[in-house]
Amino acid sequence: MAADKEEVRSRTDIVDLIGAHVQLKRRGRNWLGLCPFHQEKTPSFNVDPVTQSFKCFGCGVGGDVFSFVQRMENMSFVEAAEKLAARAGLELARTGGTSMPTGERDALLQMNAVAKDYYRSQLAHSADARAYLDRRGITADAVLRWGLGYAPESWDALTTFLRSRRLDLRVAAQCGLVGSKDGSRYYDVFRNRLIFPIHDEQERVVGFGGRAVGNEEPKYLNSPESALFAKSKLLYGLPFARRSVAVTGRSILMEGYMDVIAAHQSGFTAAMATLGTSLTGDHAKKLVRLAPIVVLCYDADRAGIKATLRAAEILEQQELQVRVISLPEGEDPDSLLRTRGAEAFEAAVAEAVGRVEYQLRRAVAETDSADPEGQAALLRKLIAILASVPSRTERDMHIEKVWSYHPMRAHGASIVKDQLHRDAEEYARRMRAQQRAVQAGEPAPAPVIPPPAVAPLTAERRAELLLVRALVSVEFRADVLGCCGMSDFISPVAARLFCDVRDGLGGPHTDEAGLIAAAEVQGDEAFCDALRQLLQESSVALANIRLSSDIVRAEAKRLRRARVAQVQDELAGLLRARESFGPDDERHLAEYMRVLRELKGSNAG
């Protein structure tokens, strides 16, 4: 490799190389220009043709032809060396014994280059393909930049063209451009499709993507896997995005060819996409070499959301910082750019959030937490998401944004936050145990989210437990129903029990065991388990208490007064903490006011 490296260096004129990127003027034996790596008004970037080196006396960056390409193109040394070797018409020796022979590789690359030119020439002959590009707002410059073309609606158009050029169709078959049933009768693979050339990191065409112009299936068709074309390793647009990624410090990852082209056309030149497949570890390893941040911008449908979360997991395994763009429902990057313009997309990028916050927002938005069942479902989601955050400090920042959705929020922020930390850590522990069991080939325990721990037995908690005990008692049930409302109860399980009994669960003469049996008929195992725990806590905590109607009414008043004070304190805290209100704040405010009206207007007040 050393000899090859020196030969590449000797065959590369550093003034010509850098002059393609920087306007240079001669000064003595050196050449001078504005540094491409930092903003300056007075030239301080020097190029020395004798030593074949460059140096900026403004920012201190310097090096040789290899380091210039590495920095300018955001490449590794090997990638820069290969690019310079190709520029000089040389070949670098490859290590390992599995690489394709150079002659065979060159033949495949040459065949793809010929096919690309052919497809480009055919685009002018397809009114449907051109109309499709017009509808998608793709400019003539973008068509030229990305080498877009068209595969005619014919079984042998490309095949006939290649034969006329006396090219080996067996090589074309290796490239996936043509197929053959018996090794002699060839046919075109791409037919009536808009063609997207796919480039490797050296900007060489290694494959093609075809989008059906008519009703052909599948809608998108890629070149088959080959020695040149590996979908799990290639990223569409990468060679055109490198420089922008280096400047901005972030990659923008999308789902489709048109998304990427539209993004670049609108100035978002750090965009790239996978090739119709999910993001892989190999993709992530490429991205981690480019920039520390990856912004995910997938479609806003269910499949896009699922792909976003899967991609985020893979990227985070490579210790990349992941940001997620939340597109308006029904939009994709291309449609957003076409209908709302670059400013709307820029705003979406600026408002991108981390993966955890994205998941938490979706959990809140997708769950109806207006009733106890919804609150319990939301809590399970929140704990599972928070469990994926290993750092307690970082987790605390997320808990700050969601603690008010906890069913125990009336007990105060500190109690709820501490409980969320404990539940998340316990869930994470169970998940690790499950993974160890799977690796060991043992039955995996389910990652059950633990129920919220019993709150400290405050006066209001004691009152609530007493009312629960009275509610399941045939003798005192009517007292509870006559002086209480759902909003009196702090625990969502107690609140649901009250509503179910009020609505006739089991009938007026059903005892505690009968109520549990009636609840089991509803089929909600989680609620039944939580109900048993609540009744057990009530039984233990109030073992020495003798119920009476007077005690029930007194404890109902005590609980209501405490609940009113708690809700008023929380409401005052919300008003103090906000200068302006967002949608979530408005929702919380409305809920507080509803609860207060219900509490103050109920019978026991």
Q: Strand 30-33 to strand 45-48: parallel, antiparallel, or no bridges (unpaired)? A: antiparallel
3-state helix, strand, coil in the chain (%, to 5): 55, 10, 35
Question: Which class would CATH give 459-600?
Answer: mainly alpha
Please tell me the predicted confidence (pLDDT) of residue 453. 44
- Return the structure tokens found at 395: 């987790």
Q: Which long-range contacts (CB under 8 A, 24 or more apart) does 163-166 make?
A: 165/114
Please tell me the predicted confidence (pLDDT) of residue 442. 67
Q: Are 588 and 574 in contact (CB under 8 A)?
A: yes
Classify domain 2-87 by CATH number: 3.90.580.10
Report the alpha-carbon distance of residue 315 to residue 257 in Å, rounded: 21
Amino acid at 346: E
Residues of the chain with CATH 3.40.1360.10: 238-351
Report the alpha-carbon distance of residue 149 to residue 63 in Å, rounded: 40
Report the alpha-carbon distance of residue 86 to residue 519 in Å, rounded: 74
Report the alpha-carbon distance of residue 336 to residue 342 in Å, rounded: 8
Q: Which fold has domain 238-351?
A: Dna Topoisomerase Vi A Subunit; Chain: A, domain 2 (3.40.1360)
Q: Strand 321-324 to strand 293-296: parallel, antiparallel, or no bridges (unpaired)? A: parallel
Report the alpha-carbon distance of residue 61 to residue 35 in Å, rounded: 9
Kindly report, residue by residue over 552-595, the tens digit of the pLDDT: 999 999 888 887 777 777 777 666 655 545 555 566 566 666 66
Residues of the chain with CATH 3.90.580.10: 2-87
DSSP codes, 538-565 = HHHHTTTPPP-HHHHHHHHHHHHHHHHH
Report the alpha-carbon distance of residue 153 to residue 190 in Å, rounded: 8
- Return the structure tokens found at 4: 């090859």
DSSP codes, 423-456 = HHHHHHHHHHHHHHHHHTTSPPPP-PPPPPPPPP
- Residues near 263 by Cβ (< 8 Å), separated by ≥ 6? 252, 254, 269, 271, 333, 337, 345
Report the alpha-carbon distance of residue 17 to residue 13 in Å, rounded: 6
Rounded alpha-carbon distances, angstroms, from residue 325 to 191, 257, 401: 35, 18, 19
Report the alpha-carbon distance of residue 65 to residue 302 in Å, rounded: 47
**10 Å Cβ neighbour count for 508?**
10
- Kindly report the CA angle at 322 between 316 and 325, in degrees rounded to 5? 145
Amino acid at 540: V
Residue 234 DSSP class: -
- Cα 348 versus chain centre, distance: 14
Counting Cα atoms < 13 Å in the Cβ hemisphere of 267 gives: 8
* pLDDT less than 70: residues of the chain: 1-4, 92-102, 410-411, 442-456, 573-596, 598-605
Kindly report, residue by residue over 216-252, the tens digit of the pLDDT: 889 999 999 988 899 999 999 999 998 899 888 899 9
Report the alpha-carbon distance of residue 498 to residue 378 in Å, rounded: 21
Residue 14 DSSP class: H
Kindly report, residue by residue over 96-155, the tens digit of the pLDDT: 444 556 678 889 999 999 999 999 999 999 999 999 999 999 999 999 999 999 999 999
Three-state DSSP state, 576: helix
- Does the domain spanning 102-222 belong to CATH 3.10.560.10? no
Report the alpha-carbon distance of residue 103 to residue 108 in Å, rounded: 9
Amino acid at 543: A
Residues of the chain with CATH 1.10.860: 459-600
pTM exceeds cut of 0.95? no
Report the alpha-carbon distance of residue 312 to residue 470 in Å, rounded: 50
